A = this chain, B = another copy of it.
């Protein structure tokens, strides 16, 4: 067999996939596992009709930027929900998921050797995507707030990526945080990339879209996910918003990489957008309420976690346990039948943490799972 590329040494399968595969095997062997490891929320949404979508347009390639009516719909949503404006004709492109949007944007800006900063715990694909673009991933330790980012900027720094609200800690960036970062990007001539995939999971009004604070989008590239916010993560619909020049680069990359997202699903989402949001928003609110209750429960039983109020994750400290996060998570799964993901999968600074997802288990199951985490910490201290 000829060689496989040696330059692009990707990490093996993401830690979350590894643990979820172990869960699958334990379940298949008849064990009753409490699953706090999944990266998906399961909403209860009916399937709406497909047969009244514009036929036969649904079969063919979309407009290269995504169907215009859906772009306008998203622009309206930004105006009413986030108080932010962008031009639906030139400042957005709809992509096959926000993951592809982020990759294509990185590919549009990175020269080989350019450094890209992001904070740990990181969304697992940032370092790998940066490496695939021949850039250098620079993970900032988890205990460094945005005010500390400046000290990591070098002449090779090209961009800073943030996730707001932060996945997997749940931190919502304040307007002051974002203003500081926009200032930093302007001062050092950097791109500021902001993944807002969990924007609808902030229900207390504290979310600010970066598009509002950098209205010309001269330094900003903003991503969001339709499939995540609307509850069909498997449909791969996302978008990127930036200035027209950057969007034009992404458009060219997209034409050679993917062409467009599935046209029929763009039409479906456009047609049923308001209806689906009306169904998912109360379920998101319920999930947020569950997160609040579980935060209080952790306070009661003496578990600590990184500051945050949104998403359906907690990044929980394993405190005084003498185990590393992988050993801890493996023992927790095999001996106590609770599945979480080891912190080390989210950055070198995160080996004293585990990622806990509260999305799929019930409130009582989640409490029971947290009790077992508490016990395992004590048992291994």
**What is the chain B residue whose CB lies nearest that of A265?**
B262
A258 touches B97 (CB 8 A): yes
A100 and B249 CA atoms in complex are apart in Å by 17
A17 and B65 CA atoms in complex are apart in Å by 13
* Cβ of A259 under 8 Å from chain B: yes
| In-complex Cβ contact of A51 among B5, B47, B112 (8 A) | B47
CB contacts (< 8 Å) of A90 on chain B: these are: none
Q: For residues 224 through 252 of chain A, which have their beta carbon under 8 Å from a beta carbon of chain B?
A: 231-236, 243, 245-246, 249, 252
CB contacts (< 8 Å) of A234 on chain B: these are: 58-62, 260, 262-264
* Cβ of A348 under 8 Å from chain B: no
Do most interface residues of chain A lie in helix, strand or loop, or is the interface mixed? loop
CB contacts (< 8 Å) of A103 on chain B: these are: 256-257
A134 to chain B, nearest CB (A): 6
B3 touches A109 (CB 8 A): yes
Interface centre among A5, A12, A55 (most CB of B within 10 A): A5
**What is the chain B residue whose CB lies nearest that of A249?**
B4
Interface string of A258-286 (1 = CB under 8 A from B): 11111111000000000000000000000
Interface string of A205-224 (1 = CB under 8 A from B): 00000000000001100000
* Cβ of A108 under 8 Å from chain B: yes
A236 touches B17 (CB 8 A): no
Query: Given A132-B253, A231-B59: A111 and B5 within 8 A (CB)?
Result: yes
B107 touches A5 (CB 8 A): yes
A257 and B102 CA atoms in complex are apart in Å by 9
A235 touches B6 (CB 8 A): no
B132 touches A134 (CB 8 A): no
* Cβ of A99 under 8 Å from chain B: yes
B259 touches A111 (CB 8 A): no
* Cβ of A151 under 8 Å from chain B: no
A219 and B2 CA atoms in complex are apart in Å by 7
Interface centre among A17, A158, A159, A252 (most CB of B within 10 A): A252
Q: How many residues of A contact B (CB 8 A)?
A: 75
| In-complex Cβ contact of A109 among B4, B235, B255, B263 (8 A) | B4
A8 and B2 CA atoms in complex are apart in Å by 26
CB contacts (< 8 Å) of A97 on chain B: these are: 258-259
Query: Given A61-B233, A234-B263, A264-B265: A219 and B258 within 8 A (CB)?
Result: no
CB contacts (< 8 Å) of A263 on chain B: these are: 234-235
Interface string of A1-44 (1 = CB under 8 A from B): 11111111011111001000000000000000000000010100
* Cβ of A45 under 8 Å from chain B: yes
A348 and B121 CA atoms in complex are apart in Å by 48
| In-complex Cβ contact of A232 among B59, B190, B258 (8 A) | B59
CB contacts (< 8 Å) of A47 on chain B: these are: 50-51, 55, 58
CB contacts (< 8 Å) of A17 on chain B: these are: 64, 255
Interface residues of A (CB under 8 A from B): 1-8, 10-14, 17, 40, 42, 45, 47, 50-51, 55-56, 58-62, 64, 96-97, 99-100, 103, 107-112, 125, 128-129, 132, 134, 158-159, 185, 189-191, 218-219, 231-236, 243, 245-246, 249, 252-253, 255-265
List 20 A-B residue pairs with CB atoms under 8 Å apart, sorted by A's residue number. A3-B158, A5-B107, A10-B252, A11-B252, A13-B252, A47-B55, A47-B58, A59-B231, A60-B233, A61-B234, A97-B258, A99-B257, A99-B258, A100-B258, A112-B112, A112-B134, A128-B256, A129-B256, A235-B264, A265-B265
